[in-house]
Amino acid sequence: MVNESSKIDMSSVASKIANIKSRMTLPVIASPMFLVSGPDLVIAACKAGAVGSFPTLNARPIEVLEQWFQRITQELDEFKAAGGKPAPWAANLIVHRSNPRAAEDLAMTLKYKPEIVITALGTPANVIEGVHAYGGLVFADVNSVAYAKKSAAAGVDGLVLVAAGAGGHTGPISAFSFVPAVREFFSGPIVLGGGIVDGAGIRAAEVLGATFGYIGTRFIATSESIAAEGHKQMLVDTTEEDIICTAHFTGVPANYLKPSIVKAGLDPAQLGVRAEKKFDSRGAATDETKAWRDIWSAGQGVRAIKGVVSVADLVAELKSGYDKAKLVP
Ligand SMILES: Cc1cc2nc3c(=O)[nH]c(=O)nc-3n(C[C@H](O)[C@H](O)[C@H](O)COP(=O)(O)O)c2cc1C
């Protein structure tokens, strides 16, 4: 087993996961989303009993990241002091070499010690030691079995499997095939994402062998998300037929809303593939690099979004569907 060779004590990981789950109302992580998740969404998700997370790059400049960390920590501490039982929160680090803030964000993350750190778009190797030093868990976001093997060998505690249909940078593999393929060599916690829209989907993820469901798209259309109002409304107005998967904007396949591409003056049928990988849209605002800011993303589950709701109402709806699905023999 990969975990044995990399000397991870999975019994300690398992006890941490059991402890985390005891503070959650249902096994779901509100996944990190660029230009969408901020402290309001994270705090509301945690108070509702789901793990809340955000990409550290959403907070700019770095001083704002410290303010966000402080606010999240303080408000959840106050909630606890008042008798509440918040779920843990998670920080998402973009570890791709093109991210100039990777080292600074890691240092700030180590200072505020989130229980879970989710790495994306690169190797988690540089993050593991520091997070383990304070007792945190590292989950690596992967979209292929090969990357899952590499991350497991690097010594991560958990794997986030981004399956086909996901919003943002999607994987190509069906969840039905992805989870069992990774379970052949990884016995630790698995988080499964990609088109999960409801409580039955979260339960289905568990039945497949995952530990948590990972939901992004549905959390965009919440009052607490910092997504553009036009983005939220477009989610209400569209279905899976309006989603296109293209590597045009960042060099890596991602799912986008076609109407936002048209609105930006581009033809969704005429998109190529960007040669150089580029993950941050806020640098040069050329047509190719407007992804996320003007070209809006969503997963294939977009049809499930009927309006903008509060995070608490969304989590309550997911919980009710999850409980119902658990009754199915
Ligand atoms: C608008 C948008 C932005 C995203 N940004 C990030 C990001 O910054 N970091 C990351 O790890 N994943 C990012 N993702 C991917 C999500 O965390 C998650 O994998 C995905 O939303 C799950 O699929 P679903 O949208 O079908 O629920 C993003 C997704 C969306 C829709």
Mean confidence (pLDDT) of the chain: 93
The highest-level CATH class for domain 2-225+307-326 is alpha beta
What is the 297 CA–ligand 1 centroid distance (Å)?
A: 8
Shortest CA distance to 306 belongs to which of 244, 240, 232, 241?
Answer: 232
Domains of the chain, by residue range, sit at: 2-225+307-326, 229-301
- Of the pLDDT bands very low, low, confident and very high (cuts 50, 70, 90), residue 7 is low
pTM of this prediction exceeds 0.85: yes
**Mean pLDDT calculated for residue range 193-207:** 98
Residue 89 has what pLDDT? 98
Give the pLDDT score at 214. Answer: 98
Residue 117 Cα to ligand 1 midpoint, Å, equals 15
pLDDT of residue 3: 44
The closest residue, in CA terms, to atom 1 on ligand 1 is: 297
The answer, yes or no, to whether any atom of ligand 1 lies below 6 A from the CB of 92, is yes
* Pocket of ligand 1 contains residue 58 by CB under 6 Å: no
Give the integer Cα–Cα distance in Å for 52 and 47.
Answer: 9
**Chain CA centroid to CA 228, Å:** 18
The reply to whether ligand 1 has any atom less than 6 angstroms from the CB of 72 is no
Residue 325: pLDDT over 60: yes
- What tens digit of pLDDT does each residue of 205-262 get? 999 999 999 999 999 999 999 999 999 999 999 999 999 999 999 889 999 999 999 9
Burial of 129 (0-12, 13-18, 19+ CB in 10 A): exposed
pLDDT in tens, 19-42: 999 999 999 999 999 999 999 999
pLDDT (tens digit, 9 = 90+) per residue, 275-306? 666 655 444 444 444 778 999 999 999 999 99
Ligand 1 mean position to 130 CA, how many Å?
25
- Testing ligand 1's pocket by substitution, the residue of 28, 29, 34 carrying the most ligand atoms inside 8 A of its CB is 34
Query: What are 114-172's pLDDT values in tens digits?
Result: 999 999 999 999 999 999 999 999 999 999 999 999 999 999 999 999 999 999 999 99
Q: Give 81 Cα–ligand 1 centroid separation in angstroms.
A: 32
Residues with Cβ within 8 Å of residue 28, at least 6 apart in sequence: 50, 51, 202, 212, 213, 214, 215, 315, 318, 322
